[in-house]
Structure 1
Amino acid sequence: MSTTQSERLRELLEPLVASQGLDLEEIAVDSVGRKRVLRVVVDSDTGADLDQIADVSRALSAKLDDTDAMGEGEYTLEVGTPGAERALTEHRHYVRATGRLVRFQLAEGGELVARILKADDDGLDLEVPGVKGRKATTRRVGFPDIEKARVQVEFNRKDSADAVHSADSADSADSKNHDEKEEEA
């Protein structure tokens, strides 16, 4: 059985990435002109910060230098995270996307945009936003019913904790203003 270079690289690098507390999400070897680029995508349940990316990049670079996994010739190693509009392909991706808005391509056909409320072994509990003044509804979708899923970028979404904090601050300010007006009277 023949294995591709990406599969061999995954076997070599995945234990090293895991030892750094991260998941190896993707490996791609691309040719850019005469140069090759090895792109490695890592993530974790809590995300990956710049220090973790730098540490794993140094460890991968050292491992690749000690082996001939990339063969002869120059290449560039790029290590990063999946990005804002990541595709959800593994169970752990759905768990990490809990609370996020996701665009689903359904196996039955059609598309659904909903917020993931909960992910379990069988599927997802979703909140489907209301349209034209209607209230949001909940829906259950099993993993076999999902053909593709991609996180959506939300620029103006208030985090629920921020919304509570803002409401508490506004209530406190209103209360303070009300008390000051009573003292003036």
Structure 2
Amino acid sequence: MSKVTETVEKIAWPIVQELGLEIVDVEYVKEGKNWYLRLYIDKENGVDIEECGMVSEKLSEKLDEIDPIPHNYYLEVSSPGAERPLKKQEDFEKAIGKNVHIKTYEPIDGEKIFEGILQEFDGTNVTIEVRVKTKSKVIQIPYNKIAQARLAVVF
């Protein structure tokens, strides 16, 4: 995590906590000529536009006051959506029983991309059940080998 995202997360944490929300992710990225600061928030039954607006307003005031970013940027506060990223260990624990999409840094059983039902997370390994044609296969993926993970929508 960059210094900007760490600082913004520290500033945003009390704001979202006060509203009964959680921070899913913070991104600070340059797209074209513009910089974007994105804060993804959520709660048990999802967030609505009013909650995103409240967090945006309060966070914007704090960021103007503290001024941790030296140049112009766009602030966006939103829900992580249906394909919510799984970043923290708690995210994996909450996702047990759900469909997930995982990319690894290096191949496991010859593959780097896995999609299936998250069966277990013990803090060290993620266990998922993947379907290959008509058969199911259980795969253990070391947590420290995961490059990206997210919930996956099943159609």
Structure 2 portions without partners, runs of 5+: none
| Equivalent residue, structure 1, for 2:28 | 28
| Equivalent residue, structure 2, for 1:151 | 151
Question: 1:84 aligns to what SS in structure 2?
Answer: coil
| Equivalent residue, structure 2, for 1:68 | 67
| Equivalent residue, structure 2, for 1:120 | 122
**Percent identity of paired positions between Structure 1 and Structure 2:** 28
Question: 1:129 aligns to what SS in structure 2?
Answer: strand
1:138 paired to 2:138: yes
- What's the offset of the Cα at 1:122? 3.0
Aligned mate of 2:81, from 80, 83, 95: 83
1-side partners of 2:119 and 2:100: how far apart?
11
Over 3 Å counting, the alpha-carbon distance change for 1:4 and 1:142 in structure 2 is: closer
Q: Structure with the greater relative contact order (CA < 8 A, sep ≥ 6): 1 or 2?
A: 2
RMSD in angstroms over aligned alpha carbons?
3.0
For 1:41, the aligned partner's letter is: Y
Q: Which has the higher helix share?
A: 1
> Is contact 1:86–1:151 with CA below 8 Å preserved after alignment?
yes
| Equivalent residue, structure 2, for 1:172 | none
Question: 1:27 aligns to what SS in structure 2?
Answer: strand
Q: Which has the higher strand share?
A: 2
State the number of aligned residues. Answer: 149
Structure 1 portions without partners, runs of 5+: 156-185
Greater C-alpha Rg:
1
- What's the offset of the Cα at 1:93? 2.0
Question: 1:127 aligns to what SS in structure 2?
Answer: strand
When normalised by structure 1's length, the TM-score is: 0.62
